[in-house]
Amino acid sequence: MDRVVLTTPTLDDEDEFLTANHLSRAFHRPWAYNPLTPDDYRSYVRALGPRKVGYFARRRSDRALLGWLNLSEIVRGNFHSAYLGYCGYAAHTGQGYMTEALALVLREAFVTQHLHRVEANIQPGNGPSIALVKRLGFELEGMSPRYLKIGGRWRDHERWALRAETWRGRHG
């Protein structure tokens, strides 16, 4: 599990990120509508901070951009939770890269960020995304009708979550 490294998105990554999103646009629809303009990308980078941590998954051997992952709406206090968002790029699907990348982000979430819970909200028809979180130990908690507005439409989502104690049980 050492084929992937995580990097922090910077303004220098703009062209590579936008190109990858354009090339994977059809692959992501209707599940995700990623940033496609320089202004959208710069807004994304500016939004990173204590409540939103962003990662780029890169292939270790050549630093190719494989996908992006975020821990957002990070809440501390009695909750210690975050939402997980991610997209892998079409050119790299089916090779296990996003499984490795998400495993690295979960380590960041539970070890570095000291979170108790990470939640992924996934549209019911997105089989590959559901399979990804299941592989990593997420549990289905329920269904949220018309939960998120994606592509201009309110869409149903399944709520999948992983708690720190479950993650630790799988990772010694």
pLDDT in tens, the chain (172 residues): 699 999 999 999 999 999 999 988 888 877 888 889 999 999 999 999 999 999 999 999 999 999 999 999 999 999 999 999 999 998 898 899 999 999 999 999 999 999 999 999 999 999 999 999 999 999 999 999 999 998 899 999 999 999 999 999 998 6
Judge whether 84 and 162 are in contact, CB under 8 Å: no
Q: At what angle do helices 127-135 and 97-107 cross, to 10 degrees?
A: 50
pTM for the whole thing? Answer: 0.93
- Whether residue 50 has a cis bond before it, omega within 30° of 0: no
Pairing mode, if any, of strands 52-59 and 65-75?
antiparallel
Fold for domain 4-163? Answer: Aminopeptidase (3.40.630)
